[in-house]
Structure 1
Amino acid sequence: MTTSDELELVSATKSFGGWLKRYKHHSKVLGCEMIFAIYLPPAAEEQDVPLLWWLSGLTCTDENFMQKAGAHGTAAELGLAIVCPDTSPRGTDLPGEHDSYDFGSGAGFYVNATEAPWNRHFRMYDYVTEELPALVARHFPLNGQQSISGHSMGGHGALVCALKNPERYASVSAFAPIANPTQCPWGEKALGGYLGDDRETWKEWDACELIATGAPAPAEIKVDQGEADNFYQDGQLRPEALEAACKQAGVPLTLRMLPGYDHSYFFIASFIDDHLRYHAHHLRSG
Structure 2
Amino acid sequence: MTDITVRSEQVCFGGTQGFYSHESEACGGSMNFALYQPPQVRNSGKLPLVTFLSGLTCTDENFTTKAGAQRVAAELGVMVLAPDTSPRGAGYPGEDDSYDFGTGAGFYLDATESPWSDRYRMYSYITRELPALIAERFPADMSRQGIMGHSMGGHGALTIHLKNPDTYRSVSAFSPICAPMQCPWGEKAFTGYLGGDRETWRPYDATELVKSKASGAGILIDQGAEDDFLKEQLLPEVFVEACKQAGQAVELRMQPGYDHSYYFIQTFMEDHLRHHAATLLA
Same fold (TM over 0.5): yes
Determine if the alignment matches structure 1 residue 284 to structure 2 residue 281: yes
Structure 1 position 221 matched with structure 2 position 222: no
| CA shift for structure 1 position 203 | 0.8
Deviation readout 1:38-83 (Å, 9 max, x if unpaired): 0000001222111000000000000000100011000000001000
Q: CA deviation at 1:151?
A: 0.2
- With over 3 angstroms needed to count, the CA separation of the structure-2 counterparts of 1:86 and 1:113, relative to structure 1, is same
Range 177-186 or range 43-52, more displaced: 43-52
Alpha-carbon separation, structure 1, partners of 2:33 and 2:190:
24
Distance 1:218 1:115 in 2: 33
CA contact (8 A) 1:164 1:216 kept: no
Conserved? CA contact 1:57–1:155, under 8 Å: yes
2:113 match: 115
- Determine the C-alpha separation between the residues in 2 that align with 1:143 and 1:119: 31
Deviation at 1:218, TM superposition (A): 3.7
Match of 2:267 among 267, 270, 277: 270
Post-superposition CA distance 1:177-231 (Å, at most 9, x none): 000000000000000000000011111100000011x224242111000000000
The runs of at least 4 aligned residues of structure 1 exceeding 6 Å deviation read none
Q: Which moved more, 1:215-224 or 1:106-115?
A: 215-224
In the aligned structure 1, how far is the partner of 2:149 from the partner of 2:99?
18
- Pairing 1:187–2:177 present: no
Alpha carbons 2:214, 2:246 under 8 Å: kept? no
Superposed counterparts of 1:222-261, under 5 Å: 222-233=220-231, 235-261=232-258
- Give structure 1 stretches of 5+ with no counterpart: none
Determine if the alignment matches structure 1 residue 149 to structure 2 residue 148. yes
Give RMSD over aligned pairs.
Answer: 0.9
- The alpha-carbon distance between structure 1 residues 100 and 218, as it changes in their structure 2 partners (threshold 3 A), is farther
What is the one-letter code of the residue matched to 2:159?
V
Q: Alignment partner of 2:109: what SS?
A: coil
CA contact (8 A) 1:155 1:176 kept: yes
Q: 2:158 touches 2:172 (CA, 8 Å); kept in 1?
A: yes
TM-score (norm 1): 0.96
Match in the other structure for 1:207: 206
Q: Retained in 1: the 8 A contact 2:214–2:243?
A: no
CA distance in 2, matches of 1:225, 1:60: 19
Match of 1:58 among 40, 56, 71: 56
Instruction: Find the counterpart in structure 2 of residue 163 from structure 1.
Output: 162
Aligned-partner Cα distance in 2 for 1:216–1:226: 25
Q: Deviations over 1:219-272 (max 9, x none)?
A: 211100000000003x10000001100011111101001110000000000000
- Counterparts of 1:143 and 1:25, CA distance in 2: 21
Q: Distance in 2 between matches of 1:59 and 1:73?
A: 25
Partner Cα distance (1:204, 1:52) in 2: 22
Looking at structure 1, the residues matched to 2 and 281 of structure 2 have their Cα atoms a distance apart, in angstroms, of 30
Contact 1:171 1:218 in 2 (8 A): no
| Equivalent position of 2:11 in the other structure | 14
Please name the residue that 2:82 is paired with. 84
| CA–CA separation in structure 1 for the residues paired with 2:214 and 2:163 | 8
8 Å CA contact 2:35–2:79 kept in 1: the answer is yes
Shift of 1:16: 0.5
Which letter maps to 1:168? T
When residues 71 and 131 of structure 1 are mapped into structure 2, their CA distance, relative to the original with a 3 A threshold, is same
In 1: Cα distance, 2:192 partner to 2:141 partner? 38
Identical-residue share of aligned pairs (%): 56
TM-score by length of 2: 0.98
1:142 CA drift (Å): 1.1
Q: Which runs of 5+ in 2 are unaligned?
A: none
Q: Residues 77-115 of structure 1, C-alpha deviation per residue, up to 9 Å, x if partnerless?
A: 000100000000012111110000000000000000000
- For the residue of structure 1 that corresponds to 2:229, the secondary structure is helix
Instruction: Specify the SS of the correspondent of 1:230.
Output: coil
- The answer to whether the Cα contact below 8 Å between 2:214 and 2:247 also exists between their aligned partners in 1 is no
